[in-house]
Amino acid sequence: MRGSALALAAIVAGLALAIGCGSPAPQRRALAPPPRDAATRPGPERVHVLQRGETLYRLSKRYGVSVDSIVRRNRIRDVANVPTGARLSIPGVRGKSRAPSGAPSGSGDLADVAYREAELAFGWPVTGRFSSGFGRRGRRDHEGIDIAARSGTPVRAAEAGRVTHSGWLGDYGRVVIVKHAGHYSTVYAHNRRNKVRKGAFVEKGQLLAEVGASGNASGPHLHFEIRRERKPENPLRFLPRTVPASQAAGR
């Protein structure tokens, strides 16, 4: 298990670059001219000039559209090198731009930090029974929480982001890793089946996988991690305190 934990940490460590951050113009071209075909413009559009530090995730939340639609509309080839000052067409905007909702009430003590740093509001990834907490477990560290659930139960994205890993990872079995805005990432392990591919953008609540018992697992459950600056943090410090009744029973 120790080797698998190191492999997981190595994968997450390679994700330090915030996806889609406004940055000085790169030498290679990250944007292609927007398409002229009206069929690619399903609804009203706005033009947004990317400011330093802005991300595609923040734009998607502000305007109420998906990251994928922004990427497709502007033919963005490299989401990590969208230059500051780029004029981005935002498709399908209805009415006024939608500002992100406030930090969730009743959340853990780090929820406000995640919202302030990256406008993130993590949600519970699965409905089930809370079975194991974060911290020391015998002679090793348990770097996430476990939620027991029936095999095949939907596992959903705790926040919007980009899938940076979808595949087998040692004792963790089938794993999905999602990179979020800022320096945050989430890990979903022991899945029966992964439903997303590496490179895909996902919205909060989107189906990622099915609960399983792959890898070193005694029964079907989700092992869930939240990592900040590559370091695993207790997910309960980010998640809403009000959880589904089926989870609360096991806490």
Q: List the pLDDT tens digit at each of the 251 positions of the chain.
A: 565 665 666 666 654 433 333 333 333 344 444 443 333 334 467 888 888 777 887 787 777 788 888 998 899 888 778 888 888 988 876 544 332 233 233 346 788 788 888 888 898 999 888 888 888 777 788 889 999 999 999 999 999 999 999 999 999 999 999 999 989 999 999 999 999 999 999 988 899 999 999 999 989 999 999 999 889 999 988 887 654 444 444 44
pLDDT of residue 2: 60
Q: Could you state, in order of their start, the residue ranges of all structural domains in the chain? A: 2-17+104-248
* Residue 239: φ, ψ to 5°: -85, 155
Strands of 101-182 (E only): list them: 129-132, 135-137, 140-142, 145-148, 154-156, 161-168, 174-179
| Cα within 13 Å of Cα(163), Cβ side | 24
* Residue 38: φ, ψ to 5°: -60, -25
Question: What's the pTM?
Answer: 0.61
CATH number assigned to the domain with residue range 2-17+104-248, chosen from the 4 options 2.70.70.10, 3.90.1150.10, 3.40.50.300, 3.40.50.720? 2.70.70.10
pLDDT of residue 17: 33
Nearest to 207 by CA among 178, 164, 173: 178
pLDDT of residue 49: 84
Beta bridge partners of 140: 137
pLDDT of residue 133: 86
